[in-house]
Structure 1
Amino acid sequence: MTQLHHLDAVAQASALRSREVSSVELVQHHLDRIDRHADDLGAFITVTAELALEKAAEADRHLAAGTAPAFAGVPTAFKDLTPTAGTPTSMGSVFLREFDPPANAHVVDLMQQTGFISLGKTNTPEFGLSSYTDNDLVGPARTPWDTSRNAGGSSGGAAAAVAAGLIPLAQGSDGGGSIRIPASACGIFGFKPSRGRVSAGPLGSDWSGLAGDGPLARSVRDAAALLDAIAHPMPGDVRPLPDPPVPYSQWVDRPPGPMRIARWSATHLEGIAPGPDAIAAWESASALLESLGHEVIDIANPFPQALEPQFNVIWSSGIAAAALPPDADALLRPNTRYWRERGRAASAVDLSRALQFLELTTRQVISDLQSYDAFLTPTLALPPQPVEWFNESGDPATDHHRELLFTPYTALYNMTGQPAASLPLHWSAENLPIGIMLATLPGQDGPLFSLSAQVEAAAPWYERRPPGFA
């Protein structure tokens, strides 16, 4: 018999509707796996077992009565940056260990309305600032493919939990790669939607246009189903996109047709280059796309290096403006203090100039790319790295440079607002997952799902599971 955690969320929902399994059984099965594996992975900051089982019993009653929504009784979890009323939302910080938000994020309400049941809050770095997941609450999140290596960040706990079968899918957020980075490091599918596709409200802010929520999943169809649940404009949104005319779940079943796919592997940063594993994954993906009838065209990296310092002004200004009391700095990690100090050094003129530079520069890049349908790069320049690699120097500036060595590609699509996905198409000789990144033009989330599903069908990854977590 197939193990329950081997089913993706769509299959779990089907099994629940046919009464092959109850939600209580399904939720308990995943809670048992969390008990067995979560400490080794650092996947969760908070587990809400009692509440989850109460919600599961309620889902079973609705399923029996025929009044259940599509994903009633299916387990999931929320990133600990995402406000969840009644459950601590620490944002990965000791300072906010007991913080109970006054309201849910819209994504929480929307997923619960679709029937998903949260098993808790997944691990994240302090305030989501880094491309690796570590904090002073529960420590690092680790990829289940090699638990000596970091799961990536900032949705590292979510990605590790999904990859190890602790939950079938999860919500993540992405302001500089924070969905796609851990998706690559954990060997799963991660999708960053177009800017404005998912509401940041009611408590979150999209002031910079960089960050947004999206799915982490083992199958493309699960990711599409989750985005269908949360991609709805809400009152007061600053950059709302309308409900898609065609559900993303339907795009998964649509052949994409021949596409012109531009590819590049060079980074936009001087002195930073992809390693051999990243190049091997990128070349293999290029050949696969060509075999599927797409035209793959080499172009120079269209993004200028001048974006990096301006991005850093915006990134640091956000955390510098966080409403924390003066004595909070003593409790913050060195990486967080580093970014707050950089942000405090920037003036309002610096921030305005940076925002305008990003807007004007990325507008030109998007204009120049209009003749292409999609874009292919490595997701990361390096494989998952040892846990200690990111901050062993003790110097946050050196640590930041190592993050650039690790992830020089992902933040560019946060600047442009394009949809982008990491696909687990390659494994290194050491059996470490190496993702490749596909993106489309802004607003073209549906075609990106079609292309991703076509690639998944041609080179299936779902049955490949990390040893020790099968």
Structure 2
Amino acid sequence: MTEHHAFGSLSARQLRDAIAAGTYTARQVTEYYLSVIHQRTDLGAFMAVHDDAALARADELDEAYAATGVVGPLHGLPLAFKDTVNVAGMVTTFGSRLFADTEPQLEDEPVSLNMNTAGVVQVGKTTLPEFALSCHSDNVISEPARNPRNPELTAGGSSGGAAAAVAAGLLPVAPGTDGGGSIRIPAAATGIVGLKPGRGTIPTDEHNDDVKNLSVTGPLARTVEDAALLMDALVDPTQSNGRYLTAAQQGRESAGDLSIGYTTASPFQPDLDITLSQSAVQALTLAVTLLSKEGLSVEEMSFSYRGGYHKNFQTVWTQGLTRIPMPEGAEERMEALARDFLKQARERTQEQYEAAVAELSDWAADTRRQFSAYDVVLTPVLAFTPPPVGTFSAMEAQDDYEYQCKFTPYTSMINVMGLPAISIPIKDDDNGMSWSIQAVGRAGTEGQLLRLGARLEALVAGNKPSE
């Protein structure tokens, strides 16, 4: 295993290229990653790990490589889906007692099939909160996902297990899902890159273009280039070195000619008291300074959000639970937040729900119009340091939800608008925690965001004091 320690120092793109060149086999790489996964069970990154199936898949890929060459653009890379995705041979628990003892899935859902086409080795399922409802990743059927930078703190959520695994080097990259910030939040909490694609960008996602369609699939990675590599495969699992990887590589030299606005205004105000930590403000200020020095047009935005966002988003967000087939007596076995959300949804009339959807749609159209004055809008991601594990779930349900909104006051609005956004690490604080900014683009500009992210990544690296 000693020679395999080099795997941990390689980016996903470098590892992919080394496997394709025959330097390493899929089995060698899979054995290494399974080993480090089992060494770091303290992080709670995985709901389940399937060693035998993963090694069998690696052998299958090695045999295919010997016969015909690489299977796909991610040939041999270990990967794990969040435990909301159906993968053949694995149980889908949704992080809930209700589904913990169900039978393994017989078939892969489309996004899992596509990743198999791309040549990955699926090693298990990553940790999430019950039904992916929260911005942490605690549940009652597994260990909570902990932050590799400080295991006493949450890794964020709801793709917290995926983020913890990538940040700790337990996976080279991982897909997450994002319905209100669930890729960007854990990426920011753990100091990695998280891209939320725009609505309808990923072929296997639902393409209904309205505010009820909040969740999308996207990449988590340690570098922008690696996020772009996975993004290309999510869009086309047969495409090597596609347009997103090209865009990220262009960003090493230039972000392109962009007009950029920035703001710390949140649509949850004034209903909730949104207070930013000094580190959150410093990260945004540093990003603005670095991009301004590049000669880009960067200015503070002057605009205002329509009212009603807090109430209407909660209505639409909680209504999603009614679409999950629940066994009889489900409420008694659900955790407090999911139980309360389901109760709210069932007591709500269809007229109340439709009114909230209409108001939120008007809000989204107005905010998109204001954002469109710029190519890119910058905001913080997190308002304050990730809280200790268990903080949110110890609260009463509504207090829990509102504290989550205060922690992540800028992410859910991007899902409502259906726009792409990327979380980029900018600085570390004196306690070793990472602080990120969110860059929001117009519809269809994921490549532009990856290019900007790669440029920011390079500028941040160049701005760090020498050792």
TM superposition score normalised by structure 1: 0.91
The equivalences for 1:29-48 within 5 A come to 29-37=32-40, 39-48=41-50
Residue of structure 2 equivalent to 1:248: 244
CA-atom RMSD, angstroms?
2.3
Q: What SS does structure 2 have at the residue aligned with 1:33?
A: helix
Q: Is the 8 A contact 1:134 1:141 kept in 2?
A: yes
1:388 is displaced (CA, Å) by 2.6
- The code of the aligned residue for 1:398 comes to D
Listed as ranges, the matches of 1:7-406 within 5 Å are: 7-37=10-40, 39-68=41-70, 69-99=72-102, 100-200=104-204, 208-231=212-235, 247-254=243-250, 255-268=254-267, 269-270=269-270, 271-300=273-302, 302-393=304-395, 395-406=396-407
The answer (yes or no) to whether the contact 1:72–1:116 under 8 Å persists in 2 is: yes
The aligned residue for residue 461 of structure 2 is 460
- Written as runs of structure 1 = structure 2, the 5 A alignment for 1:437-452 is 437-452=438-453
Alignment deviations for residues 287-328 of structure 1 (CA, whole Å, 9 cap, x no partner):
111122211111146433411211111111111342212311
Q: Is the 8 A contact 1:320 1:339 kept in 2?
A: no
C-alpha displacement at 1:391, in angstroms?
A: 2.5
Gaps of 5+ in 1: 234-242, 464-470
List runs of 5+ in structure 2 lacking aligned partners: none
The letter for the 2-side match of 1:5 is: G
Instruction: Give the Cα–Cα distance (whole angstroms) in 2 for the partners of residues 134 and 445 of structure 1.
Output: 30
1:342-396, Cα deviation, whole Å (9 max, x unpaired): 1112211112112222222211221223221101010111111111321333x11
2: CA distance, partners of 1:115 / 1:60: 11
CA contact (8 A) 1:264 1:301 kept: no
Distance of 1:63 and 1:232 partners within structure 2: 20
Asked if the contact 2:200/2:209 (under 8 Å) is kept, the reply is no
Cα distance in 2 between the residues matched to 1:459 and 1:200: 34
Deviation readout 1:101-147 (Å, 9 max, x if unpaired): 35322211111111111110000100000111100111311110000
Q: Judge conservation of contact 1:200–1:212 (CA < 8 Å) in 2.
A: no
In structure 1, what is the Cα distance between the partners aligned to 2:16 and 2:303? 42
Moved over 4 A (4+): 204-207
- The residue aligned with 1:236 is none
User: 1 CA distance for matches of 2:45 and 2:403?
Assistant: 23
Q: Quick one: distance in 2 between partners of 1:171 and 1:105?
A: 14
3-state secondary structure, aligned to 2:390? helix
TM-score by length of 2: 0.92
User: Whole-Å Cα distance in 1 between the matches of residues 25 and 226 of structure 2?
Assistant: 20
Residues 267 and 301 in structure 1, CA contact (< 8 A), matched pair in contact too: no
Q: Show CA shifts across 1:220-251 (max 9, x none).
A: 11111111111259xxxxxxxxx9xx721121
- C-alpha deviation, 1:205, in angstroms: 12
Q: How many residues align?
A: 450
